[in-house]
Amino acid sequence: MARSKKWICVAAALTALAIPAGWGQAGSTSHSILGGAAVEFEYPEQVTIPAGKATEVALHFRVAQGLHINSHTPRDQYLIPTAFSIPDGAGVQLADATYPQGKDFTLPASPTDKLSVYTDEFVIQAKIVAPAGNHLVQAKLHFQACNNAMCMPPKTIPVAIDVIGK
Amino acid sequence: MKRNTLVLGAVLLILSTFAWAGWANYEYRKQAADRLLASVAKGELVVDASSGDAKFVSPLTGKPAPDFALEDLTGKKVSLADYKGKAVLINFWATWCAPCKIETPWLVELRNQYAAQGFEILGLSADDLDKDDAKKLADEKKDIGRTADQLHIPYPVLIDGGSLDKSYGGLDELPMSFYVDRSGNVVAAQMGLTSKDEMEANIKKSLGD
């Protein structure tokens, strides 16, 4: 019996050594050299609108310094337009969206080619229809960001808004 | 008898514990290897202390260029190995990338200038493809083809370049270029729009001039 106990102790010690110290560490995350978020939703986090009536809500976004994103109406057909959407089944509907006009922008290496972009802060006027009640909406903003020399792939970020229909 | 059963049970417990520990250890090492691969295989911008300029440093520089076989716009498979003995510029671009379109005319000129010396460019489109939707896929290929035509690209344009994201150290930014010498080794890498002169210098390096 004493020998069995000894065996179990030895096995437990060996097992403890076998279990790696870093077991359970989180995996690596992908990163962009340009770093950070290209676009952030600023506000509002919560809006109260008349139930059942299409109401304009001003959504404020910020583009990271040094970056630009295409406006909703880029000049080249292959450039990705910035677009706001509310997925089906979100509880509220997007009746319409009015986008700001893009600013003219030229890359230093090609001063004759004008791009239509958003930089710094921009505001999308979203016409939202919500039934009575509280709706936690996960809307989306699709965009494609660049700096003067390189571009990041198109991206969709969540736009979380608490919409209260009264 | 009772003692034997107890010992047998203990032995079985020990063996199963070892088996679990071995599996756990294998999983841990696999994850650690994946993490290491992900970190090592990523390129990074390094700021030159004297000039203050940021320079792209790829872990692939000095190593064999990872081989690939991708379809061109006609559906023909093209692999890097097909260009053995040639100096090759692997240029990742996309239809939505404005800086890519600025550098493409430089690439075309340089390709025509150095083709006779055994130099070729492979333009790898990193545009997303809807592989499960035949109609969308056909439209996307057409868009890539139209853009290549607009840019008068004379060299092979391959699709699905984004699938090489891991092997080429992350394609989080475009344009991105890798210069491969005649032996198949990466001799230089560039990220973002640089200059025609810098590209030419790297082409000469890949040709061994």
Residues in B closer than 8 angstroms to A18, CB to CB, are: 18, 21-22, 24-25
Encoding tokens for residue A81?
């337009």
B26-67: pLDDT as tens digits: 787 767 655 554 554 577 777 777 777 777 889 999 999 999
Residues in B closer than 8 angstroms to A1, CB to CB, are: 3, 6
Q: Which CATH number fits domain A38-165: 2.60.40.1250, 2.70.70.10, 3.40.50.10300, 3.40.920.10?
A: 2.60.40.1250
Helix (H) or strand (E) holding B57: strand B54-57
pLDDT at residue number A16: 47
Asked if residue B172 and residue B86 are part of one domain, the reply reads: yes
pLDDT at residue number A65: 95
pLDDT at residue number B200: 98
Please tell me the distance in Å from A146's CA to the nearest CA on chain B: 8
Asked if residue B106 and residue B14 are part of one domain, the reply reads: no
pLDDT at residue number B35: 56
Asked if residue B1 and residue B81 are part of one domain, the reply reads: no
Asked if residue B49 and residue B36 are part of one domain, the reply reads: no
Report ipTM for this prediction.
0.77
**Chain A touched by B102 (CB under 8 Å):** yes
Q: Which of B22, B102, B192 sits opposite A18 (nearest CB)?
A: B22
pLDDT over 80 at B6, yes or no: yes
**Chain A touched by B96 (CB under 8 Å):** yes
Please tell me the distance in Å from B162's CA to the nearest CA on chain A: 10
The one-letter amino acid code at A135 reads H
B152-170: pLDDT as tens digits: 999 999 999 999 999 998 8
Asked if residue B61 and residue B27 are part of one domain, the reply reads: no
**Nearest-angstrom CA–CA distance, A66 and A146:** 9
Positions of chain A with pLDDT under 50: 1, 14-31
Residues in B closer than 8 angstroms to A83, CB to CB, are: none
Euclidean distance between the first and final Cα of chain A, in Å? 75
pLDDT at residue number A73: 98
Q: Nearest to residue A126, comparing CAs of A85, A89, A87?
A: A85
**Nearest-angstrom CA–CA distance, A60 and B9:** 66
pLDDT at residue number B1: 60
Asked if residue B74 and residue B14 are part of one domain, the reply reads: no
**Nearest-angstrom CA–CA distance, B179 and B40:** 19
Domain ranges of chain A: 38-165
Phi-psi region of B94 (alpha: psi -120 to 50; beta: other; left: phi over 0): beta
**Nearest-angstrom CA–CA distance, A156 and A41:** 12
Asked if residue B99 and residue B18 are part of one domain, the reply reads: no
B106-154: pLDDT as tens digits: 999 999 999 999 999 999 999 999 999 999 999 999 999 999 999 999 9
Asked if residue B158 and residue B73 are part of one domain, the reply reads: yes
Q: How many domains is chain B built from?
A: 2
Asked if residue B179 and residue B156 are part of one domain, the reply reads: yes
Helix B196-207 crosses helix B98-114 at what angle (to 10 degrees)?
40
Length of chain B, in residues: 209
Based on the number of CB atoms within 10 Å of its own CB, is A91 exposed (0-12), middle (13-18) or buried (19 or more)? middle
For chains A and B, what is the number of CB pairs under 8 angstroms? 117
Handedness of CA B182, B185, B191, B197 (dihedral sign): negative
Based on the number of CB atoms within 10 Å of its own CB, is A54 exposed (0-12), middle (13-18) or buried (19 or more)? middle
What domain range is B35 assigned to?
Answer: 1-40
Q: Where are the beta strands (DSSP E) in chain A?
A: 39-43, 46-49, 55-63, 68-70, 83-85, 93-98, 103-107, 110-118, 121-129, 133-143, 145-146, 155-165
Euclidean distance between the first and final Cα of chain B, in Å? 83
**Chain A touched by B16 (CB under 8 Å):** no
pLDDT at residue number B50: 74
Asked if residue B54 and residue B28 are part of one domain, the reply reads: no
The residues, ordered by sequence, that sit 6+ positions from B207 with a Cβ below 8 Å of its Cβ are: B87, B114, B117, B118, B119, B181, B182
pLDDT over 70 at B70, yes or no: yes
Q: Which of B14, B35, B172 sits opposite A7 (nearest CB)?
A: B14
The residues, ordered by sequence, that sit 6+ positions from A115 with a Cβ below 8 Å of its Cβ are: A68, A70, A74, A75, A76, A79, A102, A104, A105, A106, A107, B98
Asked if residue B82 and residue B26 are part of one domain, the reply reads: no
Q: Would you call A19 and B14 a contact, using CB atoms and an 8 Å cutoff?
A: no
**Nearest-angstrom CA–CA distance, A107 and A111:** 6
Cα nearest neighbour of A27 on chain B: B35
B173-182: pLDDT as tens digits: 999 999 999 9
Asked if residue B31 and residue B1 are part of one domain, the reply reads: yes
